[in-house]
Amino acid sequence: MQLVLSKLVEGVPLQPPELQDTFRSIMRGEIPESLVAALLVKFPAHGVSSAELTAAARVVREFIIPVAPKDELPLIDLCGTGGSSTHIFNVSTTASFVAAAAGCYVAKHGNRSISSCCGSADVLEAVGLNLKLNSAELAICLEEIGIAFMFTPMHRPALPTLNKIRKELAVRTVFNVLGPLTNPAGAKTQLVGVFDRSLIAVTAESLKALGSRRAFVVHGEEGLDEISISGRTFIAELRAGTITEFILHPHDLDIEVASLSAIQVNSIEQAKDVFMGVLHNELGPAKNIVLINAAAALYLSGKTESLIDGVRLAAQALESGSALRKYESLVAYTQRYTR
């Protein structure tokens, strides 16, 4: 490991076998914490190649405790890298319930906050979800409810120490980008947000190499790891083995432009209030950004032929109350297993 670290310090790229051996040692907990921290600092999210990212993701996937529904469901995950520093509420988490209410099978994957005030696990726990379901319970949840939240530490035994180190470092690392690439249920359709535009193509190429069928990799020009309502979003679409890039603006979907300051939160309690407000169909920028992101999930899942039709279908899910009922069903299901 000291040799690997020396190479990283000197800017020498690791060969795939070295990189994979390094990540296996990290996941097994075989490396002292101080050395793991040094490796993470010298292996940042910026500058990683698609080959390196793919190799690392394959290793992390080896250590995942999987979620396997009996039937092969057309699963989608809505997940961002985090680390965007925009302090907005949990958009993809909220949009997951809207997409599920409109007919998607959502295998939502997430964790507590590493670098922001509120991660997906934090807000869902605050609104009543029991996070500590095992894989068998989550598989039934996907089959019966159509949505499940897979709390990352339940699926990667090595993560408690790793999370502690990442929290202490408080900087973006390659694990920010690896999270969305390592869904425990093996979702083949994904809406992935990245915090830096340079990661769009890299992540899309990795998803392709890892076997994803359809995906959007998105980045709002303000640094957002979601589809934005305040300006342009740069998107790479993976479809039928081909990657194409385009730019989306809220006006393209008849959505009013709004400043990100209108959807920023500073605490878990504020994030909870916005989450519940959207599911209760409160009008405003928070609802609008959820509509855009849910629309992307519906389009990727084949529920609509276009993004603008996806916005309409997502709006129906909120206005009818079905998104709120989907949330209530998931909470009730998870509470059966309170231990």
Checking if the pLDDT of 265 tops 70, the result is yes
Checking if the pLDDT of 261 tops 90, the result is yes
Residue 206 to residue 220: CA distance in whole angstroms: 20
CA 133-136-137 angle, to 5 degrees, is 45
Burial class (CB in 10 A: 0-12, 13-18, 19+), 20: middle
Higher pLDDT, 41 or 93: 93
Residue 275 to residue 310: CA distance in whole angstroms: 20
Range 27-49 average pLDDT? 81
Range 132-153 average pLDDT? 96
Q: What is the pLDDT of residues 146-165, one digit of tens each?
A: 999 999 889 976 666 777 88
Residue 3 has a pLDDT of 82
Residue 134 has a pLDDT of 95
Range 73-97 average pLDDT? 91
Residue 115 has a pLDDT of 62
Size (the chain), residues = 339
| φ/ψ (deg, to 5) at 281 | 65, 35
Checking if the pLDDT of 35 tops 90, the result is no
pTM of this structure:
0.94
Q: What is the pLDDT of residues 102-125, one digit of tens each?
A: 999 999 999 887 666 788 999 999
Range 161-177 average pLDDT? 78
Q: What is the pLDDT of residues 206-254, one digit of tens each?
A: 999 999 999 999 999 999 999 999 999 999 999 999 999 999 999 999 9
Q: Average model confidence (pLDDT) for the chain?
A: 92
Q: Judging by DSSP bridges, how do beta strands 214-220 and 233-239 pair with one another?
A: antiparallel
Q: How many Cβ atoms from other residues are within 10 Å of residue 247's Cβ?
A: 11
Give percent of the chain above pLDDT 90: 71
Residue 339 has a pLDDT of 66
| Alpha helix stretches (DSSP H) within 43-134 | 50-62, 91-101, 120-126
Residue 336 has a pLDDT of 95
Residue 270 to residue 255: CA distance in whole angstroms: 24
Amino acid letter, 221: E
Range 266-288 average pLDDT? 97
Residue 9 has a pLDDT of 77
Q: Which of 174-178, 185-189, 245-249 has the lowest mean pLDDT?
A: 174-178
Give percent of the chain above pLDDT 70: 96
Residue 320 to residue 324: CA distance in whole angstroms: 9
Residue 83 has a pLDDT of 65
Torsion sign over Cα 240, 246, 249, 254: negative
